[in-house]
Amino acid sequence: MNDLRFDGQVALVTGAGRGLGRAHARLLAARGCTVVINDLGSAFDGTGAATGRVADEVVALIEAEGGKATANYDSVENGQAIIDDVMATHGRLDIVINNAGILTPEVWSELTLESWQRTLNVNLTGVFSVMKAAWPVFVAQQYGRCIVTSSPAVYGAGVAAYAASKAGVIGLANSLQFEAKKLKLDIKCNILIPQADTRMTQDFGAAVDARRVQQGKPAARKAPAEVMQRLSPDKVSAMVVWLAHQDCQAEASIHEAGGGYFARLNWARSAPLFATEKEGVLAAPLPENIRDGQNTLADFAGGDHPISGDGSMGAPNALEQVFGHLK
34-38 and 10-13 as β-strands: parallel, antiparallel, unpaired?
parallel
For strands 254-258 and 261-265, give the pairing. antiparallel
Q: Which is nearer to ligand NAD, 19 or 67 (CB)?
A: 19
CB of residue 189 vs ligand NAD: minimum separation in angstroms?
Answer: 16
Q: How far apart are CA 98 and CA 262, in angstroms?
A: 19
How near is the Cβ of 43 to ligand NAD at its closest, in Å? 8
The answer to whether the CB of 241 falls within 8 A of the CB of 4 is: yes
Task: State the amino acid at position 193 in one-letter form.
Answer: I
* Beta carbons of 194 and 236 less than 8 angstroms apart: yes
CB 192 within 8 A of CB 98: no
- Are the C-beta atoms of residues 261 and 289 closer than 8 Å to each other? no
Catalytic residue among 73, 143, 155, 162: 162
The single-letter code of the amino acid at 46 is G
Residue 29 or 315 having the CB closest to ligand NAD: 29
Closest CA to 211 of 102, 107, 103, 119: 107
Alpha-carbon gap, residue 43 to 138, rounded angstroms:
31
Nearer to ligand NAD, 42 or 253 (CB): 42
Percent composition of the chain: helix, strand, coil (DSSP 3-state, to 5): 45, 15, 40
Judged by CB, which is closer to ligand NAD: 121, or 270? 121
CB of 55 to ligand NAD, least distance (A): 9
Residues in the chain: 327
CB nearer to ligand NAD: give 205 or 285. Answer: 205
For ligand NAD, the closer CB: 33 or 192: 192
Give the nearer residue to ligand NAD in terms of CB position, either 122 or 252.
Answer: 122
Least separation in angstroms between CB 105 and ligand NAD: 12
* Separation between Cα atoms, residue 249 and residue 146, nearest integer Å: 12
State the nearest-atom distance from the C-beta of 223 to ligand NAD, in Å: 12
State the CB neighbour count (10 A cutoff) for residue 54: 23
Can you give the binding site for ligand NAD, defined by CB under 6 A?
A: 14-15, 17-21, 38-42, 44, 46, 54, 75-77, 99-103, 122, 126, 149, 151, 194-196, 198-201
Residue 91 burial (C-beta neighbours within 10 Å; 0-12, 13-18, 19+): exposed
Query: Active-site residue 162, yes or no?
Result: yes
**263, 235 Cβ separation under 8 angstroms:** no
By C-alpha distance, which of 254, 240, 198 is closest to 11? 240
Q: Minimum Å distance from CB 37 to ligand NAD?
A: 10
Minimum CB distance to ligand NAD, residue 1 (Å) = 28
Catalytic residues: 162
